[in-house]
Structure 1
Amino acid sequence: MATFKHISSKNADYGAAEQYLTFEHDEFTMKPTLDENGRLMLREDYRIATLNCGDEDFAVACMRSNLRYGKNQKREDVKSHHYIISFDPRDAVDNGLTVDRAQALGEEFCRKQFPGHQAIVCTHPDGHNHSGNIHVHIVINSLRIAEVPFLPYMDRPADTRAGCKHRCTDAAMEYFKAEVMELCHRENLYQIDLLHGSKSRITEREYWAQRKGQAKLDKEAAALPAEEQPAKPTKFETDKEKLRQAIRTALSSATSYGEFAAVLLQQGVTVKESRGRLSYLTPDRTKPITARKLGDDFDRAAVLALLEQNAHRAAEQTATVPEYPRNIRERLQGKKAVQTTPEKDGIQRMVDRAAKRAEGKGAGYDRWAAVHNLKQMAATVAAYGQYGYSPEELDAALVSANADLQDSTAKLKALDAAIREKKELQTQVLAYAKTKPARDGLKAQKTEKARSTYRERHESDFIIADAAARYFRAHGVSKLPSHKALQAEIEQLTAEKNAHYNEYREKKARVKELHTVKSNLSQILQGEKDREKKHEHER
């Protein structure tokens, strides 16, 4: 499958990019590989071409353009953007992908997506891990030297003008990934969905940590004497991978959320739930790792679904165990350890056994459902007494709980809206503050012609400043607040939201419990009616 990657660089030495593309480099340190005489070693095979550079070298052409427009002169400026398209290793064998064909596709992609930019396009026949994947490097000067048409990923007029800089926004990356997918589909190459990411969520940082750790283990194993060599290669695992393995082990045996948390806690991992999302805190960290960073298999929905499957499987296996005589059963239970697994909290819905039997559930599930219904029936009757002993009182309690939940939801939405508004104002204040040097420079100009020339030269800054000023006028902001004050307000609102969210969850749980009690009572009454009809029919 083709993948797409972006790297921004603040290195003012444009020649370093060309040197990396044409000379051998160490895959871990990224330093050039030298021969026995201390000289750089050319790569064995590659294709390279420059675009919009004329007859000049890429580095010379970029520096000349930067001086012409007065851009990329500061240390903090992004000087270049490096994009990499890596094709599937199978494409070379199955789909006839060659280095020359990949180079042509890379140049086509560069002309279409980065018009007006000086660029260097280079194709390598193999990846750094010797996987055989052909990949294309596209390095562009961040400065645009020609007027270009408005492309779908652009959102500002300055994105099309000469003398302005390329911006790799989230929208741009989404568009580029879609274009890479379209290119592969058109050329009949292997491709995956780049827009939704992988299920494993292995980042570039984790990938390299695993590679470096594995290389270190292999080096240590190779240095051992022949008689001390391990029977099989040792596999290095990152801290995240160890956490994934621990979670998978817990999920393989746990049948409830409480048991799942208890098993992980024995290994020093604490499970936390906040706003419907799970996170995992290991002993060596102070900040938990969210399930989203570990993979799709570790979020709340996937975990609860697997626990429910384990519970049903355990119930069916327990129901098929033969009954022992009473004296043997008492002796076995007398030696049984005290169960420490926490039970599920709250009242659960009763199971419609007839409907489940119609769906094809077995006898084991039916016996488990009978015991489950008896337990929930007792819990329902006990809870029913808390809310009253008439359907009207239960309905009134449900209406009151729903009203409280709606009020709590409205407060949460209001806090959300306030936080978004403050963050948007903070963004505009920061953007406006960054344009202060340009605005002060305009005031220093003495003539109208000088002001017009200066404004054209700093057009992108004035576009940002004008947009921010329009936002301030539209929202009635006469005096700009400081960044620290806005940050303090945002943190205070976030703390209020987090505190209120606990109250919201309690009210939501109360509404759910009332609905469950009402549903279970209806099922109990319906069962009583069915039994009465059966007795009348037997008479």
Structure 2
Amino acid sequence: MAILKHINSKNANYGDAEKYLLFEHDEFTMKPTLDADGHLIPRADYRISSLNCEGEDFAIACMRANLRYGKNQKREDVKSHHYIISFAPRDGPENGLTVDRAQELGEQFCKEHFPGHQALVCTHPDGHNGSGNIHVHIVINSLRIAEVPLLPHMDRPADRRAGCKHRCTDACMNYLKAEVMEMCHREGLYQKDLLNGSKERVNEREYWAQKKGQLALDSENAARAATGQPVKQTKFETDKAKLRRTIREALSHAASFDEFSSLLLREGVNVKESRGRLSYLTPDRTKPITARKLGDDFERASVFAVLEQNAARAAEQPAPIAEYPDTIKERIQREKSPKIAPNNDGVQRMVDIAAKKAEGKGRGYEKWATMHNLKQMSATLAAYQNYGFASPDELDAALAAAHEEMQTSLAGLKELESTLAGKKELQRSLLSYIGTKPARDGLKAQKSDKARRAYREQHESDFIIAEAATRYFKEHGISKLPKRKELQEEIQRLTAEKNAGYNDYRAKRERFRELQTVKSNIDQILHREPSRQRKHEQER
């Protein structure tokens, strides 16, 4: 799934940002990596472009604009903003995302959401931790060099004026996250809900503390192994990670908040509820950690929901029978229970060995295909039985029903997309019309026709925008303009519905594809030849 990160910088040297994008850097110290001769090492693969720089170097263009408007001259000023859109590693092999396409999406995203800013857009094909995720860097000068249209997250006139600075507020980040989700859904990429938090919230500082701690632990374990000493632990945990594990363990045994508090207190953690929020104080700290910094699973609502479930489950259990003595119980618990590896691999299509041999495949491929077909035959029969089909005709009926459900879900999703697109177009026209209000009010204040004509010529662009918005309202029969806040809330509601609909469509599409694979394998096992109509329906 794609995620969005933001970093602001007070570094007055804009060239450092470009240097980071073009040359390799150490992931821990963030210093450039040098070769044996002390030269910078260029990155193996990247795409980079600049926007609104008028043919100049990004750093020179930014400094020239800062001098022209007299901004970003103090040490404490935020000079630039760095946004990173990281796509899921699976988007490349499964959804066809390429570095060039990601670069196009990044440039389009920058033009739409950071208009009027000098910017660098650079795409790297791999993450710093070797995860294989394509990601796009967008670095913008905090100063705006041109007046821009009013965007939904802007709440001050200065947010759209030339010579003013970009503000990354909570409303701005939520708007940008929603646009990233919309972009991924539009492009058919993997995406999760970025607006409703996460079960475990790991910030930048904790992430790097875990990385550095793991590296130090690995080095220590390697040194201990070299001297024959036993290794204490292999996975490094931050203080917050330990606290999360402690809280989860207490939650799994508690049925009330008092019991939950006492279990945590045994581990030295003091939990406090204030104003409907929870905070946790560990022995090594003087200031408690709020649940919001740990994740949604540790908030008051989630904690009390788990406690209620535990209480209900405990009420349903019958009275316990006499236990084994402690010695027998301990011996039983020490016995190693067999582990069953989960089967994460779905049913795959069987290979037509005869057709492949006709294409020129050799003996090695035939041997592999025979083993593959045996495994998939077993998996297919297991899936066939799990679905409860009594005959191939029932499988055909289930496949047709799954196809119909998938198409119905897709039709509903398309309808939601159309409605959402209409609401966003209305929002753009409304914001454009609201942005021209000072010019329209100024026209009313003119006393003579000559003054009004001169005023219109002076503010011609504003009146062109206002007339275009007015035409849009008339064409769509809008006599009363909606309130800006209500329209934004409706767009957010439709976006949430669309995300849920998209997930529903994906689930139904996966079920249809699985049934499709099962049917294809069953036909091959029974040597059935699918009809043309059925074959065409499967290929869709």
Does TM, normalized by the shorter one, top 0.5? yes
- 1:145 is matched with which residue? 145
- 2:266 is matched with which residue? 266
Matched, 1:245 2:245: yes
- 1:200 is matched with which residue? 200
Matching residue's letter, 2:285: R
Cα gap change, 1:177 to 1:311, in 2 (>3 Å): closer
* Cα separation, 1, equivalents of 2:262 and 2:233: 33
- 2:35 is matched with which residue? 35
Aligned-residue RMSD, C-alpha: 2.1
Does structure 1 conserve the Cα–Cα contact (< 8 Å) formed by 2:80 and 2:139? yes
Query: 1:81: how far off?
Result: 1.0
Cα deviation per residue 1:149-168 (whole Å; 9 max; x = unaligned)? 22222222222222222222
Does structure 1 conserve the Cα–Cα contact (< 8 Å) formed by 2:224 and 2:230? no
Matched, 1:186 2:186: yes
- 2:47 is matched with which residue? 47
SS at match of 2:224: coil
- 1:305 is matched with which residue? 305
- 2:77 is matched with which residue? 77
- 2:173 is matched with which residue? 173
SS at match of 1:279: strand
Q: How does 1:283-432 map to 2 (within 5 A)?
A: 283-317=283-317, 319-321=319-321
Query: 1:262: how far off?
Result: 1.8
Matched, 1:282 2:285: no
- 2:130 is matched with which residue? 130
Cα gap change, 1:145 to 1:302, in 2 (>3 Å): closer
- 1:160 is matched with which residue? 160
Aligned length: 324
Q: How does 1:504-519 map to 2 (within 5 A)?
A: none
* Cα separation, 1, equivalents of 2:307 and 2:169: 40
- 2:60 is matched with which residue? 60
SS at match of 1:48: strand
- 1:396 is matched with which residue? none
* Cα separation, 2, equivalents of 1:321 and 1:225: 48
* Cα separation, 2, equivalents of 1:210 and 1:17: 25
Cα deviation per residue 1:256-288 (whole Å; 9 max; x = unaligned)? 332222222121111212223222111111111
Cα gap change, 1:66 to 1:266, in 2 (>3 Å): same
SS at match of 2:76: coil
* Cα separation, 2, equivalents of 1:188 and 1:298: 32
Matching residue's letter, 2:287: K
Cα gap change, 1:159 to 1:298, in 2 (>3 Å): closer
SS at match of 1:31: coil
- 1:336 is matched with which residue? none
- 1:89 is matched with which residue? 89
Cα deviation per residue 1:202-258 (whole Å; 9 max; x = unaligned)? 112111111111111111122334463767961001111111111122222233332
Does structure 1 conserve the Cα–Cα contact (< 8 Å) formed by 2:197 and 2:296? no
Matching residue's letter, 1:105: L
Matching residue's letter, 2:96: G
* Cα separation, 2, equivalents of 1:276 and 1:177: 27
Matching residue's letter, 2:89: P
- 1:22 is matched with which residue? 22
* Cα separation, 2, equivalents of 1:128 and 1:233: 25
Q: How does 1:192-231 map to 2 (within 5 A)?
A: 192-226=192-226, 228=228
- 1:116 is matched with which residue? 116
Q: Which moved more, 1:154-163 or 1:74-83?
A: 154-163
Cα gap change, 1:143 to 1:84, in 2 (>3 Å): same
- 2:11 is matched with which residue? 11
Cα deviation per residue 1:466-506 (whole Å; 9 max; x = unaligned)? xxxxxxxxxxxxxxxxxxxxxxxxxxxxxxxxxxxxxxxxx
Query: 1:290: how far off?
Result: 1.9
Cα gap change, 1:16 to 1:310, in 2 (>3 Å): same
Cα deviation per residue 1:385-432 (whole Å; 9 max; x = unaligned)? xxxxxxxxxxxxxxxxxxxxxxxxxxxxxxxxxxxxxxxxxxxxxxxx
Matching residue's letter, 2:289: I
SS at match of 1:136: strand
Cα gap change, 1:159 to 1:320, in 2 (>3 Å): closer
Gap runs ≥5 in structure 2? 326-540
Cα deviation per residue 1:334-393 (whole Å; 9 max; x = unaligned)? xxxxxxxxxxxxxxxxxxxxxxxxxxxxxxxxxxxxxxxxxxxxxxxxxxxxxxxxxxxx
Cα gap change, 1:166 to 1:283, in 2 (>3 Å): same
Does structure 1 conserve the Cα–Cα contact (< 8 Å) formed by 2:225 and 2:231? no
- 2:234 is matched with which residue? 234
Matching residue's letter, 1:201: R
SS at match of 1:319: coil
Q: Which has the larger radius of gyration?
A: 1
Cα gap change, 1:109 to 1:313, in 2 (>3 Å): closer
Query: 1:71: how far off?
Result: 1.5
Does structure 1 conserve the Cα–Cα contact (< 8 Å) formed by 2:224 and 2:231? no
Cα gap change, 1:38 to 1:107, in 2 (>3 Å): same
Runs of 4+ aligned residues of structure 1 deviating over 6 Å after TM superposition are: none
Q: Which moved more, 1:181-190 or 1:69-78?
A: 69-78
SS at match of 2:297: helix
* Cα separation, 2, equivalents of 1:225 and 1:322: 47
* Cα separation, 2, equivalents of 1:295 and 1:151: 30
* Cα separation, 1, equivalents of 2:168 and 2:308: 43
SS at match of 1:13: coil
Cα deviation per residue 1:181-222 (whole Å; 9 max; x = unaligned)? 111111111111111121111112111111111111111122
SS at match of 1:123: strand
* Cα separation, 2, equivalents of 1:82 and 1:63: 17
Q: How does 1:436-475 map to 2 (within 5 A)?
A: none
SS at match of 1:224: helix
SS at match of 1:182: helix
Query: 1:315: how far off?
Result: 4.5
Cα gap change, 1:15 to 1:252, in 2 (>3 Å): same
Q: Which moved more, 1:176-185 or 1:293-302?
A: 293-302
Gap runs ≥5 in structure 1? 324-331, 333-539
- 1:100 is matched with which residue? 100
Matching residue's letter, 1:137: H
* Cα separation, 1, equivalents of 2:8 and 2:219: 33
